[in-house]
Amino acid sequence: MEGKSIIITGGATGLGKAMAMEFARLGADIVIASRNLENLEKAAKEISTFNNKVIVTQTDVRSPEQVEKMVRRAVEENGKIDILVNNAAGNFRVPSLDMSVNAWNSVVDIVLHGTWYCSQEVGRQMVFQKTGGNILNIGSTHVWSGNPGTAHSTAAKAGVLALTKTLAVEWAQENIRVNLIAPGPIEGTGAAEQLWSTPELEKAVLNRIPSGRMGTPKEVAYLASYLVSDYASYVTGSSFVIDGAGHLNKGGV
Ligand SMILES: CCC/C=C/C(=O)SCCNC(=O)CCNC(=O)[C@H](O)C(C)(C)COP(=O)([O-])OP(=O)([O-])OC[C@H]1O[C@@H](n2cnc3c(N)ncnc32)[C@H](O)[C@@H]1OP(=O)([O-])[O-]
Ligand SMILES: NC(=O)C1=CN([C@@H]2O[C@H](COP(=O)(O)OP(=O)(O)OC[C@H]3O[C@@H](n4cnc5c(N)ncnc54)[C@H](OP(=O)(O)O)[C@@H]3O)[C@@H](O)[C@H]2O)C=CC1
């Protein structure tokens, strides 16, 4: 990944930071973008221990104007963009019958609209550069299993999966690959705080995973590294589940 210029939204925490660290270890220049500047600066310090360039940009992916600024900044600093990881997301548990309009909009705006704004802006830049490139979206296994209590996130992630396939076909001639990683529960991340914050919830989540444990952020980062690298040069329009077989039926009666 030497010399590659990579934007990771939500790159200051959880899976985003783990991917940023791994891409940096492999030699890439990193731009991390999210809302909390303090988190961004703290993460940048850690990511720059690999002697690569790390830029932070305070960006709310729900704003097309802020996304445009983020892309302009990345191009000014690094001269180009090779890879975009659409990782930023919001999620919380709320019964569907009680969900407010704002609660629905807030999550769908971050997950689906934010992914679209970033993809379109970066896609335009990659076409302008005539370099090709690739986009990696972070989805969720909930798209296939459903997940009571997170209708907003699950529906938005399904939109992201459909967008992945559509853009992969539309932009294949531009040599832009578009893929998706669908993680199951990963330990020590924002999802843990939002979705299994009590011991009872955590136990219920663990119970559904045949491998008997949650994944780690590093395991997701290793898969991401493969997908954005040239080892995956013929892989596009695909989704990759990483969940210890959690989306499959465990068997038994
Ligand atoms: C296997 C896992 C799969 C996927 C995992 C992940 O994605 S993990 C990723 C995990 N990481 C993250 O999620 C990190 C980022 N997450 C966040 O920043 C926030 O959770 C956010 C998504 C609410 C966005 O913030 P914001 O400042 O834009 O929003 P705001 O504060 O203005 O609220 C907007 C509306 O939502 C309402 N509402 C909020 N919480 C709850 C609740 N618990 N209950 C009910 N409702 C709730 C709130 O009341 C308001 O509606 P109202 O009252 O006006 O009708
Ligand atoms: N961890 C898990 O078990 C799973 C995670 N996923 C997916 O993995 C990805 C990472 O999740 P995880 O690491 O758990 O969670 P985190 O909460 O650690 O990461 C979410 C990141 O998104 C950023 N973000 C949220 N809203 C916005 C916004 N409006 N604009 C820009 N950035 C924003 C947050 O930063 P800030 O608040 O500062 O903006 C934060 O850094 C998400 O796409 C999630 O849906 C999917 C399945 C399982």
Establish whether residue 36 lines the binding site of ligand 2, counting it when its CB lies within 6 angstroms of any ligand atom.
Answer: yes
- Ligand 2: residue of 7, 8, 13, 68 to mutate (most ligand atoms within 8 A of CB) is 13
Residue pLDDT, tens place only, 73-131? 999 999 999 999 999 999 999 999 999 999 999 999 999 999 999 999 999 999 999 99
The pTM assigned to this predicted structure is 0.98
Question: Does pLDDT of 70 surpass 80?
Answer: yes
pLDDT bin (cut points 50, 70, 90) of residue 33 is very high
Q: Where are the alpha helices (DSSP H) in the chain?
A: 14-25, 37-47, 64-78, 101-108, 114-129, 142-145, 151-170, 190-195, 199-207, 217-228
- Which ligand is located closest to the Cα atom of residue 32? 2
Establish whether residue 201 lines the binding site of ligand 1, counting it when its CB lies within 6 angstroms of any ligand atom.
Answer: no
What ipTM was predicted for this assembly?
0.98
Is 73 within 8 Å of 56 (Cβ atoms)?
A: no
- Which ligand is located closest to the Cα atom of residue 224? 2
Tell me the CATH number for domain 5-242: 3.40.50.720
Establish whether residue 246 lines the binding site of ligand 2, counting it when its CB lies within 6 angstroms of any ligand atom.
Answer: no
Atom of ligand 2 nearest to the CA of 62: 29
Q: Which residues pair with 239 in a beta bridge?
A: 180
Q: Quick one: DSSP state of residue 186?
A: B
Residue pLDDT, tens place only, 130-185? 999 999 999 999 999 999 999 999 999 999 999 999 999 999 999 999 999 999 99
Give the closest residue (by CA) to ligand 1 atom 8: 191
Q: Note the pLDDT of residue 178.
A: 99
Domain locations in the chain? Answer: 5-242
